[in-house]
Structures are given as structure tokens and as C-alpha cells.
Structure 1
Amino acid sequence: MLLPWEYGVRNLARRPMRTALTLVALATVVMLVFVVVGFIRGLEQSLTVSGDEDVVLVYSVNSEENIENSSIAARTPSLLTASLDGAVKRFGITNVSPELYLGTRVKTNDGDGGLGLVRGVTLSAPLVRRRVKLIDGDWPGEGEVMVGRLAAAKLGSSDDAMAIGQSVEFEGRQWQISGRFAAGGAAYESEIWCKLGDFQTATKRQDLSLVAMLLSPQSSAAEVELFCKERTDLELRANRETDYYASLQQHYKPVRLLAWFVVVLVSGAGIFAGLNMMYGAVAGRIREIATLQAVGYRRRAILISLVQEGVLLAAAGSLLSGVIALTMLNGMAVRFTMGAFTIRIDSVAILIGCGVGLLLGVLGALPPALKALRAEVATSLKAV
């Protein structure tokens, strides 16, 4: 026969201070798990949604995977459009975007700023970068820039300092912010965009970093790759945009593995903390446990009741942490080397966080309960 369900619930209410401390400890551990898993999921989501299967990037073969170090001739876009028919053409406009992409020091009005990512583009850029949407303000004109919604987080600045009408300084010039854009969580959201000609003048460069081509359904990236291999004098390489960001996934794989290792460490620490608190809770109830055995309850029933108490506390702590994570952490911007992204508390993060919490409740309650139940009933009844 099992103990009544209400018995375990009432036991938690009999010791409000100990219950509250245990609840806070469990909720803190689960919250740390939510933060780390949300970080991992946000990074993975940002890299996943950044690529477009129909877009091919053409950049320098010497830059390897770092496009910021790429330098190609300014005539490359015209060579590509003249030699290949694979790019989408609408209303007489070829969807090819020449771009100059650099990491440079950006100063804002509220401080020193930080290392920002600036992309010089033309009016054909939104035709190729189809995720980019202007959400406020206007497309940049002469001496103007538009900023991604996470650009402030990348610079370590406030949103007010990156508002429309404010100014930023980079490459020795002042630039006025004319608009803000979003890109559905893609990496572009941490960038600053300006006119290609203005950026080339400011940097005293006439070359490009890359050319992005939107291919038609009848074309394939293999045609562009073959052209780059045949024209060895240009020293170009072509890569589908999804493949490029997949390679970044592999580049950041050690970071993600380290983050998962932190989840394991935090969970292990939480289990030991739970063991410590549950040992203290059970140690003060030795006579109670012995009395239950004396009146006829089996050890299995008492063990289930003690585990029930631990699981109830862990479930309450997981629920509390989940609510806080969804309301306060979800969508929080995080600075990173590749730019910035948002912490993502999705279904996977909720499942892992709550699963760890329930695991803490079970594993934290079992060892002290088993130890108390192994003691002789007569000896335990005399315990003080």
C-alpha cells in the first residue's frame, strides 16, 4: 500500500523555510541550464537561417573561410554576368550584389563603441539578400547607414544610440543612421549597411570582398564553381551560401561542445547540491520514517513518497525557471565573434531544462531515502 499523495505535499508545507531554500537552489540550477542551452540554440539558429540555397557567394580563394579578408577585382560582377546566364533577371536587373565587407572599429554617441561589421552594398543587395527587410526609416543615401536590429548588441551599445537620426563613426567619417532592418534572425542583423561607393571612398579601396548571386531554378552552383576553377587568373572560389554557413557551424563546433559540457557540469553540481539538501531533510525525519514502517507501510511505499517530494520540488523549480526564461531570457541579444544573436528558449531548451530539473529531483532524493530506510526500525525510533 502506498502512502497518500497528500502526505508528501503536506510534508513540504510543514517545513516552509527548508522547502523554499531547496526550491530556490533547484530553480537556480535549472536556470543555468536554460541559459546555456538557449545560447547553443540561438547560435545554431542564427547560422541555420543565414544561408539561402539559391545564393552563391564568389570571393577570393586565398581568404579560406573568412570573407572579411577577401579581396577581388571590382570588375568581377560584370565578368560573372557576362560569362554566366544563371543569375535571376527581373525587369532588366540582374540579381547580383557586389559587396565590401569589413570588421572595423565603430564609435557611437554613448561611448567608445566596439568592433562592428560593416557591409557596403548597392540597391541590388535586397534582391539577393531576400531575408533582409527594412523595418523602420529609409534606405541609406550619401553619408548614411542603416543598422540591423542587433547591431547595438554587437557594439555593446544601447538601442537609443543606434536609433534613426543618431550618428556613428567609422573609417574616419561620421555616418547618420537612416533606417533599421531585420533579417529573420540571420547573421546580417548585427551588421551596418551603407552605400558601396561611399564605403570604398572611406576605406580608400576600389576592390570588393565578395559577389553574391541569386541563381534561377534552372541553374546550379556547379556552373559558377566551374567558371571560377577555369579562370585561375582571377583567383576566385564559389560556394553556396548554405554551405558557407554550414562550414561556420563546424568552425564553432568546439564552442557548442564546450557549452554542452557546461550543461553536464551544471547538472552534476545540481545533483550534488540536491543530495546535500535532501540528506539534511531526511536526517531530521528518521523517527518519522521508522514510525511509518512500524505502522505497516513498506519501504517501497515510503521511498516513493520521498521521491515524490523531491520531484514535486524539482517540478516547481523547473516551472519557475521556465517562466523566467521565457519572459526575461528569450530573445536577449548576445555578443559573439561572428556578430550577435539572440538566446532562444524553444521547445528543445524547455525539454532539456525541465528534464534536468526532474532528474535532479529523482537522483537527489533516492540516495538519502535509501540510506534512511536501511536503518533498523528500533534504532531509528530512538533517534533524536
Structure 2
Amino acid sequence: MLLPWEYGVRNLARRPLRTLLTLIALATVVMLVFVVVGFIRGLERSLAVSGDPDVVLIYSVNAEQNIENSSIAGQTAALLSASLDGTFQRFGTAHVSPELYLGTRVSQGSDAGGFGLVRGVTQTAPLVRRSVRIIAGAWPGPGEVMVGQLAAAKLGVDPATMALGNTVDFEGQSWRIAGHFAADGNTHESELWCNLSEFQTATKRQDLSVVALLLAPDASPAEVQLFCKERTDLELQAVGEKTYYESLQQHYKPVRWLAWFVVLLVSGAGVFAGLNMMYGAVAGRVREIATLQTIGFRRRAILLSVIQEGMLLSATGSLISGVIALALLNGVAVRFTMGAFTLRIDGIAILIGCGVGLSLGVLGALPPAIKALRAPVAESLKAI
């Protein structure tokens, strides 16, 4: 015969302080799990949505996977347009975007600022970077810059400082903020865009970092790669943009594994904290458990009742943490080496967080309950 369901619920209410402390401890552990899993899911999504399968990136063969270190001739874009037949064209305009991309110190007035990512582009950039859309203001003109909606997070400044009409300083020049843009959550949202020729003048460079080329529907990246291999004098390499960001996912794989390891450590710490709390709770109920056995309740029924109490606490803590995570953590921007991205508390994060929380309730209740049930009933009845 099982103990009534209400028995476990009443037991939690009999010790309100201990119950509250246990609930806070469980909710804190689950919240930490939500933070770490949200970080992993946000990083994975940012890289997954970055890259257009129809775009090919052409940059220096010596730069390996770091486009910021790439330097190619300023005439590369015109040369590619003239030499390749697979470039997408519309109304006589080749969809080719020459770009100068680098990391530099971005400040505002006397503010020291932070390390930002700036991309010098031309009017053809939106034709190739099809995910980019202006959400406020306008395309940057002379002396102006367009700011991604995660650029403030990358710089570590208040988003209000990136308001339209404000100025930012980099490369020894002040730039007026003319617009804000979004890019479906990809890495471009961490960047600042300005006019290519002005950016080259400010940096005293006439070269490019990368040329982004939109392929025609019947074209293949192999054509561009073959051209780069044949023109060894140019020292170029070509890679599909989607492939490029997939390689970055492999590059950040150790970071993701480390984050999952942190989840395991946090969960393990939570289990030990739960064991400590539950041992304290069960230690004060030794006579109660012995009395239940004397009345006629089987050990299995008493064990299930103790587990029920742990599950109620852990489920409540997981629910509280889940609501707080969805309300306060989901969409929060965080800085990272590649730029910035947002924490993502999605279905998988909720499943993992609540799963860890419920497992803490079971694993924390089992050992102390088994220890109490194994003690002789006669000795337990004499316990203080």
C-alpha cells in the first residue's frame, strides 16, 4: 500500500524554512544550467544561420580561415567579374561585393570604447549579403556608418549610445551613425558598415580583405575555385560562405565541449547539494520513517513518498528557473571572439534544464532515504 499523495505535500509544508532553502538551491542550479545551455544554443544558431549557400568568398590563400588577416589586390573584384561567367547579374550589375574587413578600436568621445568589427562595403553589398536589412535610418553616406543590432554588445557599451545621429570614432576619424541593420541573427549583426573607399583612406590601405560573389543559379563554386588555382600569381582561395562558417563551427567545437562539461559540473554540484539537503531532511525524520514501517507501510512505499517530495521541490524549482530564463535570459546579447550573439532559451534548452532539475530531485532523495530505511526499526524508534 502506498502512502497518500497529500502526505508528501504536507511534509513539505511542515518545514517551510528547510523547504524554501532547498527550493532556492535547486532553482539556482537549474538557472546555471539554463545560462550555459543558452550560451551553447546561441553560439550554434549564430554560426548555423551565417552564410549563404549561393555566395563564394574569395580571399588571400595566406589568411587560412581568418579573413581579418587577408589582403588581396583592390582590382580583384573587377578581375573576377570579367573572368567568371557564373556570377549572378541583374540589370547589368554583377553581384560582387569587394570588402575591407578588420577589427579595430571603436570609441565615442572620451570613452575608451571597445574592440569592434568594421566592414567597408560598396552599394553592391546588399545584393550579395541578402540577409541584411535596414531596420532604422538609411544606408550610410559620406562620413557615416551603419550599425548592426548586436554591435553595442560586441563593443560592451549601452545600446542607447548607438542611437541614430550619434558619432563613433575609429581609425582616427569620426563617423555619424546613419542607420541600424539586422541580419537574421548571423555574425554580420556584430559589425559596423561604412563606405569602402572612405574606410580605405582612413586605414591608409588600398587593398581588400575579401570579395563576396553571388553565383548564378546554374553556376558552381568549383568554377571560382578552379580560377583561383589557375591564377597562382594572385594567391587567392575560394570557399563557399556556408562551408566557411561550417568550418568555424568545427573551430569552436572545443568551446562547446567545454560548455557541456560545465553543465555536467554544475549538475554534479547540484546533486551533491541536493544530497546534503536531503540527508539533513531525512536525518530529522528517522523516527517518523520507522513509525511508518511499524504501522505497516512497506519500505518501497516510504521510499516513493520521499522521492515524491524531492520531485515536487525539483519540479517547482525547474518551473521557476524556466520562467525566469525565458523572461530575462532569452535574447540577451553576449560578447564572443567572433562578435556577439544572443542567448537562446529554446525547446532543447528547456528540456535539458528541466531534465537536470528533475534528476536532481530523484538523485538527491534516493541515497538518504535508502540509508534511513536500512536502519533497524527498533533503533530508529529510539532516535532523537
Fold similarity call, TM over 0.5:
yes
Cross-structure match for 1:187: 187
Cross-structure match for 2:37: 37
Distance 2:222 2:3 in 1: 69
Distance 2:54 2:45 in 1: 19
**How far does residue 68 in structure 1 lie from its aligned partner after superposition?**
0.3
Listed as ranges, the matches of 1:99-114 within 5 Å are 99-109=99-109, 111-114=111-114
**How far does residue 166 in structure 1 lie from its aligned partner after superposition?**
0.4
Residue by residue over 1:181-227, the C-alpha shift from the partner in whole angstroms, topping out at 9 and shown as x without a partner, is 00011000000000101101101111100000111220111110011
Cross-structure match for 2:165: 165
SS class of match (2:116): strand
Distance 1:294 1:87 in 2: 85
Contact 1:111-1:157 at 8 Å conserved across structures:
no
Residue by residue over 1:235-262, the C-alpha shift from the partner in whole angstroms, topping out at 9 and shown as x without a partner, is 0000000111111111111111111110
Distance 2:109 2:278 in 1: 53
Listed as ranges, the matches of 1:95-174 within 5 Å are 95-109=95-109, 111-174=111-174
**How far does residue 135 in structure 1 lie from its aligned partner after superposition?**
0.2
- Residue identity in the other structure for 1:327: A
SS class of match (2:65): coil
Residue by residue over 1:328-378, the C-alpha shift from the partner in whole angstroms, topping out at 9 and shown as x without a partner, is 000001011100000000111111100000110000000000000001111
Distance 1:52 1:312 in 2: 47
Cross-structure match for 1:8: 8
Cross-structure match for 2:80: 80
Distance 1:296 1:30 in 2: 37
Contact 1:110-1:157 at 8 Å conserved across structures:
no
1:383 correspondence with 2:383 = yes
Cross-structure match for 2:359: 359
Distance 1:130 1:302 in 2: 63
Contact 1:274-1:361 at 8 Å conserved across structures:
yes
Listed as ranges, the matches of 1:218-367 within 5 Å are 218-367=218-367
Cross-structure match for 1:65: 65
SS class of match (1:345): coil
Distance 1:37 1:110 in 2: 37
1:28 correspondence with 2:28 = yes
Distance 2:8 2:243 in 1: 55
Distance 2:92 2:319 in 1: 57
Distance 2:382 2:109 in 1: 73
- Which runs of no fewer than 5 residues in structure 1 stay unpaired? none
**How far does residue 268 in structure 1 lie from its aligned partner after superposition?**
0.3
Distance 1:290 1:120 in 2: 76
Contact 1:121-1:196 at 8 Å conserved across structures:
yes
- Residue identity in the other structure for 2:336: F
Distance 1:170 1:87, change over 3 A: same
- Residue identity in the other structure for 1:116: G
- Residue identity in the other structure for 2:271: I
Distance 2:273 2:10 in 1: 23
Distance 2:281 2:67 in 1: 58
Distance 1:28 1:109 in 2: 40
Aligned residue pairs total 384
* TM-score scaled by length of structure 2: 0.99
Cross-structure match for 1:215: 215
**How far does residue 78 in structure 1 lie from its aligned partner after superposition?**
1.1
**How far does residue 109 in structure 1 lie from its aligned partner after superposition?**
4.4
Distance 1:110 1:11 in 2: 61
Residue by residue over 1:26-69, the C-alpha shift from the partner in whole angstroms, topping out at 9 and shown as x without a partner, is 00000000000100111111011011111100000000000000
Identity of aligned residues (%): 75
- Residue identity in the other structure for 1:374: R
**How far does residue 110 in structure 1 lie from its aligned partner after superposition?**
7.4
**How far does residue 108 in structure 1 lie from its aligned partner after superposition?**
2.1
RMSD: 0.8
Distance 1:110 1:378 in 2: 77
**How far does residue 90 in structure 1 lie from its aligned partner after superposition?**
1.1
* TM-score scaled by length of structure 1: 0.99
Distance 2:16 2:90 in 1: 70
**How far does residue 111 in structure 1 lie from its aligned partner after superposition?**
2.4
Contact 1:110-1:161 at 8 Å conserved across structures:
no
- Residue identity in the other structure for 1:310: G
Residue by residue over 1:59-103, the C-alpha shift from the partner in whole angstroms, topping out at 9 and shown as x without a partner, is 000000000000011111111111111111111111110000010
Residue by residue over 1:115-159, the C-alpha shift from the partner in whole angstroms, topping out at 9 and shown as x without a partner, is 100000011111111111100001000000000000001001111
Contact 1:61-1:237 at 8 Å conserved across structures:
yes
Contact 1:306-1:365 at 8 Å conserved across structures:
yes
Distance 1:34 1:326, change over 3 A: same
- Residue identity in the other structure for 2:49: V
SS class of match (1:184): coil
SS class of match (2:312): helix
Cross-structure match for 2:374: 374
